[in-house]
Amino acid sequence: MPRKTDTDGRHVHAALAAAVADPCVLERLHRTGEAGSPFDFERIRLFAGLALKVRHNDIRMLLPLTFKLLDRLKISVPLFAAYGKSAAALRLAGRTTRSDKLEVMSGFIEGWLRADDPMHALVRDALHHERALLTLEDRRANAPAGADDDATPATHAVTPAAVPRPAAGLIRTKMSCHPLQLAATLGSPKGDLTALHRGQFQFVYRWDALKGCAAAIEIDELGNLLLELADGRESFVHLVSMLRRAGLALTSAQLCRAGQQLLDHDLLAVRAPRPRRRVRHAAGSR
């Protein structure tokens, strides 16, 4: 009888270890009841999530604000418990590089967060902020020599006839708070997340070659609209005409002011209009 008990105990421990390592095994055990009714499968699932979180310390190093906020909100372990299947699929597919893990983990977090929860919106803000910074840093690290000179926006004067386009390498995102204020709040043990100013904010991220770092710049709705529409082919006055036809009351002066603000922050490139080509008439024709 004792021998049978030892065997059963080893079987249970092996089953639990497999369940912690593989969420599919845990789900199967839960469905079939193989591990026995005394076991709390939800607690096992959360423990597996904690173990998975620890194994993602490399991603924590890339997304420290996001992970800190998940911990502050006490949702990191439930999130990783839910992420177990995705992580297992990633391993089976042999996608174990840092970039693969970061991409899949970020996409999962986006889908897992609730759209109607203002605290979850802060997690999304932190994630977008850190992903933008990482993208710019990676681009900078892989850029060829002299790339900063090529990325410098043209400095033609902003006039109604001038033609705007977004500066190279911009990343635009919407936020529910100011990301730098969120970072400062998370950096303080007494930081109060509920005291953050909330709303809808537009931010543009770019590489600041002079400072040697990524920069986050808040822009207004009109500036965001201009970056959306400017394509390097149409002039300011033509863009105003388009917006008026769409029902937006706007003057060339207003759009040019918005363009100048973007230009001042190196977010916009502006060139002079191309001169019109003269039509040459054939000799003797009038």
Give the model confidence (pLDDT) of 113-153 as tens digits. 999 999 999 999 999 999 999 999 999 888 776 655 555 55
Q: With a cut of 50, which residues of the chain have pLDDT below it?
A: 1-4, 7, 35, 286
By the 10 Å C-beta count (0-12 exposed, 13-18 middle, 19+ buried), 231 is classed as exposed
| Pair 154, 269: CB distance under 8 Å | yes
Q: What is the per-residue pLDDT for 219? A: 97
pLDDT, tens digit, 9 for 90 and up, residues 15-57: 556 666 666 666 666 666 554 555 677 787 888 889 899 999 9
Cα–chain center distance at 156? 32
- Nearest-angstrom CA–CA distance, 176 and 199: 5
- Nearest-angstrom CA–CA distance, 266 and 152: 8
> Buried b vs exposed e over 255-276: b needs ≥16 C-beta within 10 Å?
bbebbebbbebbbbbbeeeeee
Give the domain ranges of the chain.
10-112
